[in-house]
A = this chain, B = another copy of it.
Amino acid sequence: MRMINFDLGKITQQVKEHPPLVHHITNYVTANDSANTVLALGGSPVMADELEEVSEMVSIASSLVINVGTLHETTIPSMLIAGRRANELGIPIILDPVGVGATTLRTKVAKELLEKLDFTFIRGNRSEMKSLFGFEGKTRGVDSMVNEEEDFSRIALLMARKHQTTVGITGEVDVISDGERVVELSNGHPRLTKITGSGCMATSIIGVYLGARVPSLEAGILGISRMAIAGELAFEDLGEQAGMESYRIGVMDHLSTLTPEILQKRMKMKEGMIHE
């Protein structure tokens, strides 16, 4: 079994030396936040969703982020075309199934993407991931003593195996599995749910790390932790009385200034207990 490698200094160096170009096919609500986040980490963002250019654009990219936040009839084929090309070229793809479960279209499209493309990573919240993977959140038997977090750990593991990908399910506790190992992360702050784009930005950060060839489990841990810890630090700086826009700026500032040392020190990670 592969060990989790956290030479954060080395990873940070990797990003600096080979700034990844992260191609996004994403929504218009948080595109600016995602672009600034990628830049804050030392990467280069490019947003392009026109069918005629996505295949060529992804060919020069280091990774591809597919985010279905504002899905359009015209961008669905773009996602498939760019994804296929990325797969052919071995360029990592990450899926953010924003709002999946809310409408038949989103669920259908996300499932089609899941079926037709090989994703390196899939990051979504519990509700989105339930809808995407088609489970009810209760995979354990009635007499099981396991708690809900373990339930999601198990789901992440099973889904990662089934779809041969790495799965990150975010919630009060975030769980990530590459099908071999499961980790639980318990950083974060409730205020992060009160700003738009915290999920999208976490996904874009994972895109940066994947683009820098960080292994998928580590990329997911780093991306999700970085956002969660930035959320903690911004709250510690500003307190309960601060306005939400100042909080949002504080979070984005910490995304850019967070050092490997602070990240390592604050990260609350434990290996998930899976009863198979």
Name A's B-contacting residues (CB within 8 A): 27-33, 35-36, 39-40, 45-53, 56-57, 60, 69-74, 99, 102-106, 194-197, 241-246, 248-250, 252-257
Q: A3 vs B51: C-alpha distance in the bound complex, in angstroms?
A: 47
Residues of B within 8 A of A252 (CB): 243-245
Query: Do A99 and B48 form a contact, CB below 8 Å, given A195-B36, A253-B243, A253-B246?
Result: yes
Q: Is A56 touching B103 in the complex (CB atoms < 8 A)? A: yes
Min C-beta distance of A12 to chain B, whole Å: 15
Nearest CB in chain B: distance from A230 CB, A: 9
CB distance from A149 to the nearest CB of B (A): 24
5 contacts between A and B (CB under 8 A): A48-B103, A53-B104, A243-B249, A244-B255, A244-B256
A252-B244, A253-B246, A256-B244 are contacts. A47–B27 as well, Cβ < 8 Å? yes
* Nearest opposing residue in chain B for A105, CB measure: B53
| A48, B47: Cα distance in complex, Å | 19
In the A-B complex, the 5 residue pairs with the smallest Cβ-Cβ separation, listed nearest first, are: A243-B253, A245-B252, A35-B196, A244-B256, A53-B103
